[in-house]
Amino acid sequence: MKLLRYGPAGSELPGMLDANGTLRALSPIVSDIDATVLSPEGLRFLRALDASKLPEVAGTPRLGSPLAAVREIVAIGLNYRDHAIEANLPIPTEPVVFSKSTSSISGPDDDIVLPAGSQKTDWEVELGIVIGSTTSRVDEQAAWASIAGYVMVNDVSERDWQLNRNGQWGKGKSFDTFTPVGPWFVSADEIAQPGRLELELKVNGEQRQSGNTEDLIFPVNTVVSYVSQFMTLKPGDLIITGTPAGVGLGMKPPQFLKVGDTIAQTITGLGAQTHRVVNGA
């Protein structure tokens, strides 16, 4: 099942894709793609619908983040060995955890806005885990039941603010537009092997990142279990799982985003994102 939100920024409506990939309106059924919808009961209810009988959405409206009112963005750093190596940092012995502001969430094709004066804004394609059940101190096997589904994310990062401004990583990762999500949420039952998904990202048509989630140091269920040991996760919370090698910071010499650049990225089964880089005020 693929759920999404469409319409102008701040006024998105809930929708779903039917078996033929046609966008169908969910607004007669649910108010938004929120914690209630993403719970096991909510997803069960939507699976029982005949999507072909829902109203078809005309045209090609803008898509927003498929997740409404995200409470937490928990991020895992250096979770691919090749990325830790290119960053010249030790391979983590347990997950590196930081937070991003939910105000950084944007749509899958929205512009990425460079912060004023930024010279070091970078790209990071990532698999996102969407929590579906209240989860606290679960083991790795039980963690699977806590996952509602998955989304694609770009963990955009301003490296100067991240690394040189005397603070935690979230400082460089929480600017507006720095967490594009989507195009859709895919329920866990449709992603049979989240540990075998291809991730790709191109800048101006040139390959920058090409990886696979089988290379995660800490796989999906391990990450959920680990995070649940020190915080209670709630339906709709988003955990992003790290990025493979190929970020701008790791290039020799480093290369970063410029006004006018175009970013295109894909993850198996999770669709595609395309962004134009624009100047901030």
- Please provide the DSSP assignment of 150-201 as one string: EEEEE--EEHHHHHHSSS-GGGGT-STT-EEB-S-EEEGGG-S-TTS-EEEE
d(CA 176, CA 32): 22
- Give bridge partners of residue 64 from the DSSP assignment: 5
In tens digits, the chain (281 residues) has pLDDT values of 999 999 999 999 999 999 999 999 999 899 999 999 999 999 999 999 999 999 999 999 999 999 998 999 999 999 999 888 888 888 999 999 999 999 999 999 999 999 998 999 999 999 999 999 999 999 999 999 999 999 999 999 999 999 888 878 999 999 999 999 999 999 999 998 999 999 999 999 999 999 999 999 999 999 999 999 999 999 999 999 999 999 999 999 999 999 999 999 999 999 999 999 999 86
d(CA 150, CA 269): 10
Q: Tell me the three state secondary structure of residue 226.
A: helix
Counts of helices then strands in the chain (DSSP H, E): 6, 19
d(CA 23, CA 181): 18
Is 135:112 a contact under the CB 8 Å cutoff? Answer: no
Residue tagged 């693929």 (tokens): 2
